[in-house]
Amino acid sequence: MNKKIGYVTILVKDYDEAIQFYTEKMGFELLADNSFGNGMRWVSVAPSSNNETSIVLVEADTSEKKERLGSQAANHVFLVINTDDCRRDYEVMKSRGVHFFGEPNDVPWGVEVVFEDLYGNRFDLVQHNGF
């Protein structure tokens, strides 16, 4: 049996502001932005177009979903983004206005730093040893 995770969902306040943040500040690629009428929209982004897993942005359209904005994993890291150069990506993203919790640190498995998206969801940017 061969299985993979295809998509991960992140709740957003507004599709267009989320697309702008993920593409312009985080440097992700917009993979899909399809409207199906009646407010239905399929929006997906990923660090690059060749990723096997991408993020689906879902508009928080109920009070329950709105309560979860930015806290899908409470105050813990929600997703880990692997990179070949953590310090480079940190500098680029920081210059674009992304909020980081400190600077990249050497850790036993490589280099890492935590940041958040525009809603407060936390991500771990990791450069693994031997990436």
DSSP state of 39: T
Query: How far apart, in Å, do the first and last CA atoms of the chain sit?
Result: 27
Q: What is the mean pLDDT of residues 103-118?
A: 97
pLDDT digits (tens, 9 = 90+) for 42-98: 999 999 989 889 999 999 999 999 999 998 888 899 999 999 999 999 999 999 999
For residues 44 and 10, what is the distance between their CA atoms, to the nearest angstrom?
10
Q: Which residue has the tokens 């920081």?
A: 94
pLDDT digits (tens, 9 = 90+) for 86-99: 999 999 999 999 99
For the stretch 101-108, contacts whose Cβ atoms lie closer than 8 Å and that sit 24 or more positions apart, written own/partner, are none
Of the pLDDT bands very low, low, confident and very high (cuts 50, 70, 90), residue 17 is: very high
Residue ranges and CATH numbers for the domains of the chain are: 7-128 (3.10.180.10)
Find out whether 27 and 17 touch, Cβ atoms under 8 Å.
Answer: no
Pairing mode of beta strands 54-59, 72-75:
unpaired
Residue with the bigger pLDDT between 40 and 13: it is: 13
pLDDT of amino acid 31: 97
How many CA atoms are closer than 13 Å to the CA of 3, on its beta-carbon side?
2
Share of the chain above pLDDT 70, in %: 99
Q: Is the pLDDT of residue 131 over 60?
A: no
For residues 121 and 75, what is the distance between their CA atoms, to the nearest angstrom?
8
